[in-house]
Each structure stands twice: as structure tokens, then as C-alpha cells.
């Protein structure tokens, strides 16, 4: 008699939670084809169709809804028992699932995630990147990474990076042609690289100085949804771009991009790793949090030990 495995049941719940095979496959660390095949095999052996699938949407059938209603609570109990058992481990192993937006993901790959994998070879990390804010508990993640001001109040937070800044940049050719903006309204005379948010709205560039603040909806001939592509456009002289400082600091240092309006982009709270309180965290989870705190403490010590600007370091 066919008995579905725990992974098969987790796959069904992941699809329901995420609303698509593609997103669920990313969370589960497998290909969309493999996930589709696994669910198809489950449906064949159960003798019922669990999902209505079209090219645009996925929804539960009546049989699928009844199936999910019955397995949901028991699955939580099983995973709770697994976590309780893993909490007794002395050697970290298993999978850590993290949700972060693109810039945050790039910031924690090295040294945090790569260092963790190097220290604990029996572990695996799934890093999902998306710009929208998610409920990490409801969406099946162990941890999230967001700016400090966006961390939910009921979560435990670990500071990861020093304060962040935005940077307005343009290629040397662009600055030579259009001049250097001195105040935020000046950018209305420049072609700019616009960014569309996941909710469809255009991102407004944010500025602040001396108690004054401004949000400007820039104009330009190109609209993008990915920072790395926007950076290429800025390097090619398409227009001014608005980036996280860390994403373009190497280009600024090398003279490939010229920074403007720096006095209008003050620092703001940096990145935080956050997670819900857990009764029985696994050894891998505890090790990841301990490493994050360790690296954060080293970063603070490094900043505090630097000589002040103009100090010869005596």
C-alpha cells in the first residue's frame, strides 16, 4: 500500500502557502519540475486531483482542501517533534531557511552564510530573495533579514550591519552632460533610472537634510525592477540611479560612477536578522544565531577601534 512521505506532504502545504509551484519549489530547495512530478505522483497514488492548475494560477480542489485540512495540524506536531529531537543534537545539521530582499541577501552571503556552511558541513541553507515583506512564520522560513525599522515587534532581532545609506550616482559622462544636481529638485532636470516596486508603484527617491525631507518621483526613459540591472544602466550613462551605498561603493571608488547629493542621504538603521521565539531550536539554528551575534560583535569592535577622521592614530 502506498504511503506518502513527509516530504510529499510538506510539498503540498508549501504550494498552498505560497500559491505557486515555482515559489514553493524555491522554498523547498528543489526544481519546479521535480516538485510538479512529486505532487503528480502523490495525486496518482491517492486517486484524486489535489490542485487545479492553469498557466496563471494554482488552487485546491475540494478533495485537496479536505486533504490539507486533515494533514495541517498533524504535520505541525510532527515537525515540532522533529525540532525537539534536533534540539538535542550536539552537531549542527539540517536546513536553515532565510527570507531577504536582494541587497540584504548580498550583504549576508559573505561572511555569514558562507562562514556558517564552512563551519558546519552537515548543514544546508535556502536563501529566498523577494522585495515584498513576508510573514516568515506563515511562509515557512526560519529567519528573515530586513532593515531594523521593518522588523515586526514580536520578533527577536540581531543587528548585522552598521547604519546604511542611499547613494545617488551617475556616470562621469552623464554628469559632464547634465551637470551636478545640488538640491533634490535639480534631479527633475536629469534623466533617471526608475524602479518599479513589487506592488506596481514607482519608487520615490527619498532625501533628508537639516530637518527637511523630500520624496521625488523621477522621470526617465527606462523603468526596471532589479537593482543589479539598474546599476548596469547607470554605468552605461542612461541616467542617475538611486541605490544602496554598498551596491555601488566599488564603482564610486573606481571612478566608474560619480556620487551626488551625498549631504541629502543621511544614514538610517542597518540590517537585522530576525526570528520568532522557539521552544526547541535545532542545533543548526542555534549555531547560525550564535555566528550572527559573533560577527556582529566583531564588526562593532572594528568600528570602535578605527581612528577618528583626521586622527593620526597615535
Q: What is the pLDDT of residues 65-102, one digit of tens each?
A: 999 999 988 888 888 787 777 666 678 988 999 999 88
> Mean pLDDT, to the nearest integer, of 185-202?
88
CB 253, CB 242: distance < 8 Å:
no
> Mean pLDDT, to the nearest integer, of 233-241?
97
Contacts of 211 (CB under 8 A, 6+ apart): none
Going by C-alpha positions, the residue among 114, 97, 133, 146 that lies closest to residue 274 is 146
**Per-residue model confidence (pLDDT) at position 198:** 67
What are the structural domains, with CATH classification, of the chain?
6-86 (1.10.10.10), 94-160+269-303 (3.40.190.10), 166-264 (3.40.190.290)
Query: Could you count the other beta carbons within 10 Å of the beta carbon of residue 52?
Result: 12
- Structure pTM? 0.58
Amino acid at each position: 500500500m502506498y504511503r506518502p512521505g513527509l516530504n510529499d506532504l510538506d510539498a503540498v502545504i508549501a504550494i498552498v502557502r505560497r500559491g505557486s509551484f515555482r515559489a514553493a519549489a524555491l522554498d523547498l530547495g528543489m526544481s519546479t519540475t521535480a516538485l510538479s512530478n512529486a505532487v503528480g505522483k502523490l495525486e496518482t497514488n491517492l486517486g484524486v486531483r489535489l490542485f487545479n492548475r492553469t498557466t496563471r494560477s494554482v488552487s485546491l480542489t475540494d478533495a485537496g482542501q479536505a486533504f490539507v485540512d486533515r494533514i495541517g495540524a498533524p504535520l505541525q506536531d510532527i515537525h515540532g517533534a522533529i525540532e525537539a529531537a534536533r534540539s538535542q543534537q550536539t552537531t549542527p545539521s539540517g536546513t536553515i531557511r532565510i527570507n531577504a530582499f536582494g541587497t540584504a541577501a548580498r550583504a549576508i552571503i559573505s561572511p555569514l552564510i558562507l562562514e556558517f556552511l564552512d563551519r558546519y558541513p552537515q548543514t544546508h541553507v535556502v536563501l529566498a530573495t523577494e522585495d515584498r515583506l513576508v510573514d516568515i512564520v506563515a511562509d515557512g522560513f526560519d529567519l528573515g533579514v530586513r532593515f531594523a525599522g521593518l522588523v515586526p515587534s514580536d520578533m527577536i532581532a540581531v543587528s548585522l550591519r552598521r547604519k546604511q545609506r542611499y547613494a545617488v550616482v551617475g556616470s562621469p559622462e552623464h554628469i559632464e552632460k547634465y551637470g551636478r544636481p545640488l538640491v533634490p529638485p535639480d534631479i527633475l532636470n536629469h534623466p533617471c533610472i526608475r524602479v518599479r516596486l513589487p506592488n506596481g508603484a514607482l519608487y520615490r527617491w527619498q532625501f533628508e537634510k537639516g530637518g527637511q525631507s523630500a520624496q521625488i518621483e523621477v522621470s526617465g526613459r527606462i523603468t526596471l525592477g532589479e537593482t543589479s540591472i539598474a546599476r548596469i544602466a547607470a554605468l552605461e550613462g542612461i541616467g542617475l540611479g538611486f541605490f544602496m551605498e554598498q551596491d555601488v561603493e566599488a564603482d564610486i571608488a573606481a571612478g566608474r560612477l560619480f556620487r551626488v547629493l551625498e549631504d541629502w542621504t543621511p544614514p538610517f538603521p542597518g540590517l537585522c536578522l530576525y526570528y520568532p521565539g522557539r521552544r526547541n531550536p535545532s542545533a543548526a539554528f542555534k549555531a547560525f544565531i550564535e555566528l550572527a551575534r559573533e560577527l556582529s560583535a566583531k564588526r562593532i569592535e572594528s568600528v570602535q577601534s578605527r581612528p577618528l577622521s583626521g586622527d593620526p592614530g597615535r
